[in-house]
Amino acid sequence: MRKEELIKRVADSTGIAACEVREVIEGAIKKSMDAVAEGKTLYIRGFGTLSPKHYKKKVARNIAKNETITIAEHYTPHFKPAKSFKNRTKKL
């Protein structure tokens, strides 16, 4: 499902205009991204947890060039679905 389809479905089910739904969804996504970028954890009950995950500095190997490279320590966004969400998708 793309964002446009999500907006349409929410607008249809709530009776709110699609342009207003778009503003709310885009605002929620932006604020979620801002929170994780600031190092905060976002928890949505029944959906899951979005948090920054820390990776330590490590040495790796580029096998194509046969050389050793260093991967700097960094953070990436990590999503952990809620138990109810996991159970719902197991039935697919």
Reported confidence tier of residue 92, pLDDT bands at 50, 70, 90:
confident
d(CA 75, CA 90) in angstroms, rounded, equals: 29
Whether the model clears a pTM of 0.75, i.e. scores above it, the answer is yes
Backbone angles phi, psi at 91, to 5 degrees: -80, 0
- Is the domain spanning 41-85 CATH 3.40.50.720? The answer is no
Q: How high is the pLDDT of residue 70?
A: 95
Residues 6+ apart with CB under 8 A from 76: 52, 53, 55
Per residue in 11-65, pLDDT (tens digit) is 999 999 999 999 999 999 999 999 999 999 999 999 999 999 999 999 999 999 9
Share of the chain above pLDDT 90, in %: 95
What is the domain partition of the chain in residue ranges?
1-38, 41-85
Three-state SS at 80? strand
